[in-house]
């Protein structure tokens, strides 16, 4: 852990944010960011001393922006905004997402344009470093004045209120303060507003979705290649010359990956002259379908990293003489790509379900329902019911939340992004996608064994052996839910993709060579 990330100074990527969250990288407030924060804090103090009217410093909020607040009440105002805006409902988001919210909030505030006290920022860093993570409800943000409700809950512990996760338990903040011997922070002018204005709830969901969807995209290529092998499909549609004629970057990457995954396969060689003219689209068009989803993913990653290094609160304090009340808190720049990545993730599940169906038809030398003794046994018929159900559920989640807007704050905030819902929906779609891919992996692994004694490529045989460490071949019906859970787990935790990538690399094969932007 020799590298130390400097909040507010260094460029924050999705991968770095995740590494800070897991403790693989240490982050701190460096000297340069400390100087900027102190200067911004002094600028706000001067604004108050000069009795100049600045939104959120000595005025009310939202529709109450024209209501003046006396100098002696400016601190009380900041406490009240945290209390009044803590209206989140529903189950809490995961501690990981809450921690990502803290990390991204600190990075934005440390840029030195928010007027917060250094001591407040140091307390937020303390929460990260000591893994004392605020409890944040999942619902209540419209994603426009920033994520007001979730950020209010995130920052309640600063003033001794709300709840935190302490040693894995959910406890009142006061209990954590007592254990560590610390006192609540005394908020200064503008701090409450700076803390709750911003897109960090949307952003944390985007960071996690970028990580999870990339893993699913990589897994889908591996699993799709296994299904193609089991169905004695051809690799001709993955020819690099073909894809150079329609050079979408995601398509080209998937075609390359499939070529490499299928390289030196005895199964592939065994049916070169079989006379089959074309494969079904779910096999033949993997580069176009998987690739389109990769193109959408790449755009989301790029926009997420722009947001990771942005200042999204309001007003922005450039210096004591120049503040701007703008709209950097509006979640629309992430709401749109989060929504269409719902489509991107759902389509990977859709095409995976079609491959599951193909494996069951009893064509091209495979037994009906992937089992020799069907009738008494249902074989692999019913797992495909589950993929069909999950695919349909994902379709219902594809309605874009960002297509809607309901005015708030008595019309002052008359267009909102609903990006918080977009981020939550995308992660729910990915939950379902992981199960769908787990079922295809189970089915493809079963089907490949009917090609014995022929062997697939070294990479796909390694993937098959990895599956068999967790789930065995099925000679007759059993409780397949257990198998589905086991295989979904090795997709969800990234171990399938990681182990296959490491095996390929150890064999001198770089699946993503030339496409390095498709990584975290």
Residues labelled as active-site residues:
55
Q: Are 135 and 163 in contact (CB under 8 A)?
A: yes
Cβ neighbors of 273 (< 8 A, separation 6 or more) are: none
Question: Nearest 5 degrees, angle CA 513-CA 517-CA 520?
Answer: 110
d(CA 163, CA 95): 12
CB distance 171 to 133 below 8 Å: no
**Residue 483, CA distances (Å) to 329, 436, 467 in order:** 45, 13, 10
Residue ranges of alpha helices (H) inside 131-245 are 148-155, 173-180, 191-196, 200-230, 240-244
State the CB neighbour count (10 A cutoff) for residue 325: 12
Tokens at 195, concatenated = 């803390």
Is the Cα torsion angle 43, 45, 51, 57 positive or negative in sign?
positive
Outline where 361-412 has alpha helix (H). Answer: 381-396
Cα separation, 292 vs 510, in Å, equals 21
Report which secondary-structure segment, H or E, holds 5.
strand 4-6
Unique residue bearing structure tokens 């992937």: 370
Q: Which residues of 201-219 are buried (b: 16+ CB within 10 A; e: fewer)?
A: bbbbbbbbbbbbbbbbbbb
The alpha-carbon radius of gyration of the chain (Å, integer) is 26
Q: How far apart are CA 89 and CA 234, in angstroms?
A: 52
Give how far the C-alpha of residue 71 lies from the chain's centroid of Cα atoms, to the nearest Å: 42
Quote the CA–CA distance of 5 and 86 in Å, as a whole number.
31
Q: At what angle do helices 14-22 and 95-109 cross, to 10 degrees?
A: 120
3-class DSSP state for residue 235?
coil
With vertex at residue 70, the alpha carbon angle to CA 65 and CA 73, rounded to the nearest 5 degrees, is 95
SS3 170: strand
Tell me the C-alpha distance between 442 and 486, whole Å: 10
């Amino acid at each position: 852990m020799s590298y130390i990330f400097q909040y507010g100074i260094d460029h924050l990527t999705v991968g770095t944010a995740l590494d800070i969250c897991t403790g693989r990288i240490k982050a701190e407030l460096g000297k340069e960011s400390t100087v900027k924060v102190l200067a911004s804090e002094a600028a706000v103090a001067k604004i108050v001393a000069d009795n100049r009217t600045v939104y959120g410093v000595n005025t009310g909020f939202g529709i109450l922006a024209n209501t003046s607040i006396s100098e002696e009440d400016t601190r009380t105002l900041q406490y009240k905004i945290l209390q009044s805006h803590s209206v989140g409902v529903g189950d809490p988001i995961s501690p990981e997402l809450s921690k990502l919210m803290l990390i991204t909030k600190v990075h934005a505030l440390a840029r030195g344009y928010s007027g917060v006290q250094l001591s407040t920022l140091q307390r937020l860093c303390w929460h990260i470093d000591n893994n004392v993570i605020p409890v944040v409800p999942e619902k209540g943000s419209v994603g426009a004045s920033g994520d007001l409700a979730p950020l209010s809950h995130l920052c309640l512990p600063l003033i001794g209120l709300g709840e935190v996760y302490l040693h894995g338990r959910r406890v009142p903040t006061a209990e954590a303060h007592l254990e560590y011997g610390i006192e609540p922070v005394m908020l200064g002018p503008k701090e409450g507003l700076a803390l709750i204005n911003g897109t960090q709830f949307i952003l944390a969901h985007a960071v996690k979705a970028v990580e999870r969807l990339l893993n699913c995209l990589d897994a889908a290529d591996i699993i799709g290649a296994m299904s193609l092998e089991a169905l004695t499909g051809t690799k001709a549609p993955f020819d690099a010359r073909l894809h150079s004629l329609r050079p979408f970057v995601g398509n080209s990457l998937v075609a390359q990956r499939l070529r490499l995954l299928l390289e030196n396969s005895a199964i592939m060689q065994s049916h070169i002259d079989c006379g089959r003219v074309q494969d079904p689209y779910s096999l033949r068009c993997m580069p176009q379908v998987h690739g389109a989803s990769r193109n959408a993913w790449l755009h989301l990653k790029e926009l997420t990293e722009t947001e990771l290094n942005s200042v999204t609160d309001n007003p922005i304090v450039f210096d004591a003489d120049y503040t701007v009340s703008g709209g950097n808190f509006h979640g629309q720049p992430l709401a749109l790509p989060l929504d269409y990545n719902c489509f991107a993730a759902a389509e990977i599940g859709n095409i995976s379900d079609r491959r599951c169906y193909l494996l069951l038809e009893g064509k091209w030398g495979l037994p009906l329902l992937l089992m020799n003794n069907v009738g008494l046994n249902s074989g692999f018929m019913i797992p495909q019911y589950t993929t069909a159900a999950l695919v349909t559920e994902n379709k219902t989640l594809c309605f874009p939340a960002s297509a809607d807007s309901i005015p708030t704050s008595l019309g002052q905030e008359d267009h909102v992004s609903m990006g918080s819902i977009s981020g939550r929906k995308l992660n729910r779609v990915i939950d379902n996608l992981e199960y769908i891919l787990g079922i295809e992996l189970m089915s493809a692994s079963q089907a490949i064994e009917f090609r014995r004694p022929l062997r697939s490529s070294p990479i796909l045989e390694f993937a098959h052996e990895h599956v068999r460490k967790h789930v065995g071949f099925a000679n007759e019906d059993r409780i397949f839910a257990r198998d589905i859970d086991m295989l979904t787990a090795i997709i969800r935790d990234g171990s399938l993709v990681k182990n296959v990538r490491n095996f390929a690399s150890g064999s001198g094969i770089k699946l993503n060579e030339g496409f390095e932007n498709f990584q975290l």
